[in-house]
Amino acid sequence: MNDEPTRLRERRDLSAILETALALYRLHFAALIRIAAVTVPLGVAGAALRASVDGSGTTTVAAYVLLFLQYTVDVIVAAAIIVALTDIDTTGAADFSRAYDVAFERLTSLLGAMVRVFVIVIVLFVTIIGIPWSIQRMVRWAFVGQAVILNGTNARDALSTSAAAVEGRWWRTFGVALVIGLIGAAPAGLAAAVFGLGSELASGVMASLVSALLLPFTVTAMTLLYLDLQVEKSEAEAA
């Protein structure tokens, strides 16, 4: 058995990214799942609310509030997983408290960057004609969380740091990120569909549980892709 620790920052193709993400997930399953499980309570609450929606203004507002809270929690949890990965890379272990301590320290920059991306992408998307530019920017800014945590950028610089990593490699980034996204989203969608035959509440609860189960793998794979792009860019500049 090879006991050599996995190095995060190195060149990898799609197959190696997926294999390494799966290996890290399996080796550090307990620690990563504890971090990701924070997303579940709000997901369950949202499912319960959607199941009881009566069409009134109150329940509609509550649903949007929960959706915003879920988005915020997802941002924080993803950041905590990235912190855990850096600790695994340097010390061989992840710590729940430290992961969230660092994530909360960077919360202003994280949310600022994510809100910038969200607003710009949505504005472009709803114009219909701007959909291609919306997709282009989604890919360019796919790594703002990694930029904030790994590079220590502020909200504004996170967008340019992510874009710089993707520059000249947009199609490769799009393809790999699409595969990672499908792996992360398809099982949750399938679980929601199957359990949705019983009730909307069961569907939402199962989707939340499966999403939390897969989140560490998805964030790990995207982080490995980001580091691969940075290494490739550094090698190209040094050549």
pLDDT digits (tens, 9 = 90+) for 82-125: 999 999 999 999 999 999 999 999 999 999 999 999 899 999 98
Distances (CA, A) of 222 to 65, 131, 143: 28, 23, 8
Q: Write down the mean pLDDT value for the chain.
A: 87
Cβ-contact 233, 165 below 8 angstroms: yes
- What is the per-residue pLDDT across 119-169, written as a single tens digit (0 to 9) for each? 999 999 888 888 999 999 999 999 999 999 999 999 999 999 999 999 999
Note the pLDDT of residue 44.
Answer: 78
Note the pLDDT of residue 233.
Answer: 86
Percentage of residues in the chain having pLDDT higher than 90? 60
Greater confidence (4 vs 65) lies with: 65
Note the pLDDT of residue 107.
Answer: 93
Split at pLDDT 50, 70, 90, the class of 204 is: confident
Angle, alpha carbons 225-228-229 (nearest 5°): 90
Dihedral angle at the C-alpha atoms of 115, 116, 118, 119, nearest 10 degrees? 110
Cβ-contact 170, 143 below 8 angstroms: no
Cβ-contact 212, 40 below 8 angstroms: yes
SS3 94: coil
Note the pLDDT of residue 203.
Answer: 72
Distances (CA, A) of 138 to 120, 127, 166: 9, 16, 11
Task: Give the whole-angstrom CA distance, residue 72 versus residue 70.
Answer: 5
- What is the per-residue pLDDT across 34-64, written as a single tens digit (0 to 9) for each? 999 998 888 777 777 666 665 555 666 776 7
* DSSP codes, 167-205: TT-HHHHHHHHHHHHHHHHHHHHHHHHHHTTT-HHHHHH
Note the pLDDT of residue 58.
Answer: 61
Tokens standing for 230? 């940075």
Task: Tell whether the model's pLDDT for residue 1 goes beyond 50.
Answer: no
* Phi, psi angles (nearest 5°) of residue 154: -85, 180
